[in-house]
């Protein structure tokens, strides 16, 4: 017996949708200050599109990452203070 291949029942969503750009047949390339304004507007439009795709962390993940940053900062602060004190004593021994 030959089995038939089953087709997927769900359609997959497209994740990487690019913003649609409408092309006008009579549209002219902006010149001068308008070109700069359109470029800045295009930048912010693209930035907003990228921000909408970001998966933001929940509250628990945010607090755990914040705690990790605080602990690493404290560790390296202590490390640098100890190295500074050690080198200060070493230089005092060498110079005396």
| Residue 7 in domain | no
Give Rg (Cα) of the chain: 29
> Residue 78 belongs to what domain range?
33-95
Check residue 91 and give left, alpha or beta (phi > 0: left; psi -120 to 50: alpha): alpha
In a domain, 75, yes or no: yes
What's the whole-number mean pLDDT along residues 61-68? 97
Q: Is 14 within the bounds of a domain?
A: no
Count how many domains the chain has: 1
Non-local CB neighbours of 45 within 8 Å, separated by 6+ positions: 19
Cα separation, 83 vs 76, in Å, equals 10
Residue 5: pLDDT above 80?
no
pLDDT tens track for 14-60: 566 666 666 656 667 777 888 889 999 999 999 999 999 999 899 99
Q: Does residue 60 lie within any of the structural domains?
A: yes
Inside any domain, residue 61: yes
How high is the pLDDT of residue 34?
87
pLDDT at 41: 92
Is 9 inside any structural domain? no
Within 12-55, strands assigned E span none
For residue 70, the Cα-to-chain-centroid distance in whole angstroms is 20
């Amino acid at each position: 017996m030959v089995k038939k291949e089953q087709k997927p029942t769900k359609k997959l969503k497209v994740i990487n949708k690019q913003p649609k750009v409408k092309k006008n047949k009579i549209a002219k390339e902006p010149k001068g200050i308008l070109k700069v304004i359109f470029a800045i507007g295009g930048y912010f439009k693209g930035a907003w599109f990228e921000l909408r795709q970001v998966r933001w962390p929940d509250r628990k993940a945010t607090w755990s990452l914040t705690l990790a940053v605080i602990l690493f900062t404290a560790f390296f602060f202590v490390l640098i203070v100890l190295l500074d004190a050690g080198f200060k004593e070493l230089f005092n021994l060498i110079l005396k």
